[in-house]
Structure 1
Amino acid sequence: MTGVLDEDAGTVFVGGGGADHRQPQSLLLKYANRHGMIAGATGTGKTVTLQTLAESLSLAGVPVFLSDVKGDLAGLSQPGRADAPLHDAFQQRAEKIGLTLDYQSFPVTFWDVWGERGHPVRTTPAEMGPLLLSRLLDLTDVQEGVMNIAFRVADEQGLALLDLKDLQAMLVWVGQNATELSLQYGNVSTASVGAIQRALLILENQGGHNLFGEPALDLADIIRQDASGKGVINVLAADRLMASPRLYATFLLWLLSELFEQLPEIGDPDRPRIAFFFDESHLLFDDAPKALIEKVEQVARLIRSKGVSVWFISQNPDDIPEDILGQLGNRVQHALRAFTARDQKALRLAAQNYRPNPDFDIADAIRDVGTGEAVTSFLEAKGVPGMAQRTLIRPPFSRLGPILDTERQRVNAASPMALKYATRLERDSAQEILSRRAEEAALAGADGKEAASGDADLFDMDREEYRNARRYQPRRDAAEPAPKSRSRRSDTIAETFGKSLARQLGTRSGKALVRGVLGSLFRGR
């Protein structure tokens, strides 16, 4: 084999298997959307495997979204070099598995919640929804109920929740009107409102205010190809984000749920529409309620038909709940250490996840494979699990390791996303509307009756703000066509404003906006 992509066979080369490592081990693009797993102890080669898979999918025209936990994956944007320290070792490995080592760079877009190492990536409380926010804030069931009431009232009254200040202002109003709201929506405790506000303050102090705002991330901007047909690799700078693991997990879960809600059904395509790599995936499931894990399992099963390939990366397969693990048909298992009784048990369980190979004992192989080698199993024709193979993973074509700040700055400056997301938008939303209502009530405060009527006017849907809000429709239904895969550099601030506004505002149709944790699964309930 000389190249990675075999268009005729519809495969990408992963590495060499067999006793002499000359037996090609390939991933069938048609079954890449059956999801996958990369597991192994620290230092066994998981990051390099992730990098080579991202390269291969990009060469096949598949966009990729991945999180860069250690800063190592930024090297995808730069070609490897013959004078690099590991060149000789990579050259020997390439010759051993029958691959031509073709150093090249890949189209990369850097994203960063803080907007420092990449383009700012934002969402809004309205897009994330009360369920995921409650997960992020670790709220109790009672507090989650109050959060749902705040969102319900905001939806019904056309109060856009676009950043943390909007949500905080909405909660203040809910607390002030707890008695009236309790009659219609159920008990609203001011103590619960206070607890939520404290949690929001902690989130804000941890940098959460950077995540919420406009323009919100448009999925069309991560599902793109470059001019040569390569899939764009979206790299989320997650080294700083990992200091807030719940924020990290919640953001990636939100992105997965957005893909699920917005992309239409396409059945079994010849290759994925986008590949999503969830590094340190155990953070998603740590202390997660059973209901959330069940919804992630549902999305893993259903999002396949929307052409989304999801890969979970973790140190040990038992970090991933068994029901979700059962959905992962493509597996790359690097070495597991068996120093303790628990490690030995985990090793045996990991071996049971593979189709046996009469040539070797899988448990022994998982324990003994060296760095850069793994036990692999990829789906074959008709979706049949492939026999386990000891595979020497191909070397990467792009640079291995981090890049210079100047190199990152050049990539960011040349990106078509720079103009669209650089400037934070501020527009009339819940905080501003509620602030004006309070000012009007204060002006009318000389007469207590007038002040009371000023509060009641919040629900007057003939007010100018609400008439304007009702001109916009809710977000597109999941059954509608997907957004175009390319973003126009010429998008103006006004266009961005309008798109974001149309996506956020709902109508008084008797139903709240569908959003949150896998929101489409709650449709019609």
Structure 2
Amino acid sequence: MAASGIASGDTDGRIFIGKGEQPAWLALNLANRHGLVTGATGTGKTVSLQVMAEGFARAGVPVFAADIKGDLSGVAEVGEAKDFILKRTKEIGLDFQPDQFTTVFWDVFGEQGHPVRATVSEMGPLLLSRMLDLNDVQEGVLNVAFRVADDMGLPLMDMKDLRAMLDAIAPIAQKVAENGDVNADIRQAAQALGNVTKQTVGTIQRQLLVLENQGGEKFFGEPALLLKDFIRTDSQGRGVVNILVADKLMNNPRLYATFLLWMLSELFEELPEVGDPDKPKLVFFFDEAHLLFNDAPKPLMDKIEQVVRLIRSKGVGVYFITQNPIDVPDRVLAQLGNRVQHALRAFTPRDQKAVAAAADTFRPNPKLDTAKVITELGKGEALVSFLEGNGTPAMVERVLVRPPAARIGPITPEERKAIIAASPVKGRYDTAVDSESAYEKLRARIDGKSGDADAEPGGGGLFGQLGSLVSTVFGTNTPRGKLTTGQVVARNVARTVATTVVGGLAAQLGKKVGGSLGGSVGRSIVRGTLGGMLRR
């Protein structure tokens, strides 16, 4: 295509990325097949990311991108016709047209953008275990807490809700497991729940404290992020560029990686199937992508692969940015069809091996020695291979990447404040809400806000007391006695969970269990939680 064909930049259905012997175009109808931008530090990855983000926004595709160093924020301000920019545009036959894009800033800590929150329930036990770096036993205990809370109708919104559930299940689980006056099947189930030990719960609680100290308590809560708030276009029909301010978030790489994986998972769960649209509904840029895969256990890797493989049918393109393709596992790398490779250095045998591996990921070009060229690329140069035709990769080409139309580099704090003040979601997430959830509901039942009682349950051992205890679950009976407030809280929270968990055993216990058991709730928990544990 002649230079005049790219003078105005992007055309319908394509994004102009750069030019070598031929122009390099990223086809919008294949952009949901995902992509990869790699290269050593300082070789131009962030500029390539900005060029792609601008192209998607111009085409009406919303963008979500993590900004590690703050350099991507310049997309919100008009670019400047500096000498090096004009030189590059002349070389590739492009007329430089300064531009800026509607931008919304997000920040988990709520300091440089709108707060981003998720509830504990939305995060789920698998991702939360990853965030807390729990082992298999501790993850199992966390699953029990989630299941009991779910079946009891106790929403887990924030950290104190999860703490309340963890504090509740350990002591009563031990009591159930230690009671031997039951048949073999019931004893086996009780012992399974009895594996929720105080020591394991204590370890999880300490990990939660570490997460809180790193700012995790600001992330968990309400109002939770609505995905529709960053899948939107502006008044001109352009896609909104959503930037996650991640400089401080990077102090906890595991929180950063898990948070972005949660966002992908939520997109996968909420968006409808659209097949292969003419252009993506959203493009997601994941900077420092290697953090997602470091020390990831197999269940998590399976989830990552599943989301990446299937989310394209929801119209979402995922683009990973990292230093080398070997940072990404092969089964995920195989899903990434659009590639941009900046320079790599080969000073050591390990570096040389990495360069060779990077070269092998491209469709060969007889005119290029790909491995050699990777080490020779200058700043702003890249090897590219985009999908074409029926979705096959084009031969790798060496190109000069076009300069962004918006500002290159970070904006000022004053400019950021002005953008946030004019944001379309201003006021929607800025104030945290502490709604009635697991912690408050348990405390309400314990403190007798829904009823009261003046005596301890009768004898007959733990199972003989269930009839009296069940009323605690429904908030109709909360013995107070002469205990201190702290002892009352510990005792009655334990009873609440005991009644629910053991309630499902009523049909097999016969006369050993007295009173009304609220059976459906208890049976559901025992079949789901204990039954699932025993089938493993």
Q: What is the deviation of 1:444? A: 6.0
Counterpart contact for 1:67–1:279, Cα < 8 Å: yes
1:405-433 per-position Cα deviation (integer Å, ceiling 9, x unaligned): 11001100101211211111111111111
1:289-339 per-position Cα deviation (integer Å, ceiling 9, x unaligned): 122112211211111111010001001110000111111100000001000
Pairs within 5 Å for 1:180-219:
183=189, 186=193, 187-219=195-227
Structure 2 residue 286 is the aligned partner of structure 1 residue 278? yes
Separation in 1, partners of 2:148, 2:100: 49
Q: What's the TM-score, normalizing by structure 1?
A: 0.84
Q: Which residue matches 2:147?
A: 152
Separation in 2, partners of 1:404, 1:511: 55
The structure-2 alpha-carbon separation of the partners of 1:454 and 1:115, relative to structure 1 and needing over 3 Å to count, comes to: farther
Pairs within 5 Å for 1:58-457:
58-82=57-81, 87-179=82-174, 183=189, 186=193, 187-440=195-448, 447-449=455-457, 456-457=470-471
Q: What is the deviation of 1:47? A: 0.5
1:20-62 per-position Cα deviation (integer Å, ceiling 9, x unaligned): xxx2100000110110000000000001000110000000111
Structure 2 residue 24 is the aligned partner of structure 1 residue 29? no
Q: What is the deviation of 1:455? A: 5.2
Q: What's the TM-score, normalizing by structure 2?
A: 0.82
Separation in 1, partners of 2:118, 2:255: 12
Counterpart contact for 1:279–1:312, Cα < 8 Å: yes
The structure-2 alpha-carbon separation of the partners of 1:43 and 1:508, relative to structure 1 and needing over 3 Å to count, comes to: farther
Where 1:55 maps in the other structure, the secondary structure is helix
AA partner of residue 68 (structure 1): D
Q: Which residue matches 1:6?
A: 11
AA partner of residue 33 (structure 1): N
AA partner of residue 457 (structure 1): S
1:475-498 per-position Cα deviation (integer Å, ceiling 9, x unaligned): xxxxxxxxxxxxxxxxxxxxxxxx
The structure-2 alpha-carbon separation of the partners of 1:511 and 1:409, relative to structure 1 and needing over 3 Å to count, comes to: farther
% identical aligned pairs: 54
Q: How many residues were matched structurally?
A: 460
Separation in 2, partners of 1:245, 1:455: 45
Separation in 2, partners of 1:31, 1:313: 18
Moved more, 247-256 or 442-451: 442-451
AA partner of residue 55 (structure 2): S
AA partner of residue 249 (structure 2): L
Separation in 1, partners of 2:232, 2:451: 52
Counterpart contact for 2:451–2:475, Cα < 8 Å: no
AA partner of residue 141 (structure 1): D
Q: Could you tell me which runs of 5 or more consecutive residues in structure 2 were left unpaired when the two chains were aligned.
A: 1-5, 178-188, 459-464, 478-519, 526-535
Counterpart contact for 1:157–1:461, Cα < 8 Å: no
Separation in 1, partners of 2:50, 2:521: 47
The structure-2 alpha-carbon separation of the partners of 1:213 and 1:441, relative to structure 1 and needing over 3 Å to count, comes to: closer
Quote the RMSD (CA, aligned, Å). 2.3
AA partner of residue 198 (structure 1): R
1:174-199 per-position Cα deviation (integer Å, ceiling 9, x unaligned): 12322367645633111111111111
Counterpart contact for 2:40–2:343, Cα < 8 Å: yes
Where 1:62 maps in the other structure, the secondary structure is coil
Separation in 2, partners of 1:237, 1:212: 17
Pairs within 5 Å for 1:467-482:
none
Counterpart contact for 2:448–2:475, Cα < 8 Å: no
Separation in 1, partners of 2:264, 2:159: 22
1:347-388 per-position Cα deviation (integer Å, ceiling 9, x unaligned): 111111111111120011111010000000000100011010
Q: Which residue matches 1:498?
A: none
Q: What is the deviation of 1:399? A: 0.8
Where 1:6 maps in the other structure, the secondary structure is coil
Separation in 1, partners of 2:122, 2:47: 34
Separation in 2, partners of 1:145, 1:181: 18
Q: What is the deviation of 1:459? A: 3.4
The structure-2 alpha-carbon separation of the partners of 1:341 and 1:134, relative to structure 1 and needing over 3 Å to count, comes to: same
Q: What is the deviation of 1:454? A: 7.2
Moved more, 428-437 or 304-313: 428-437
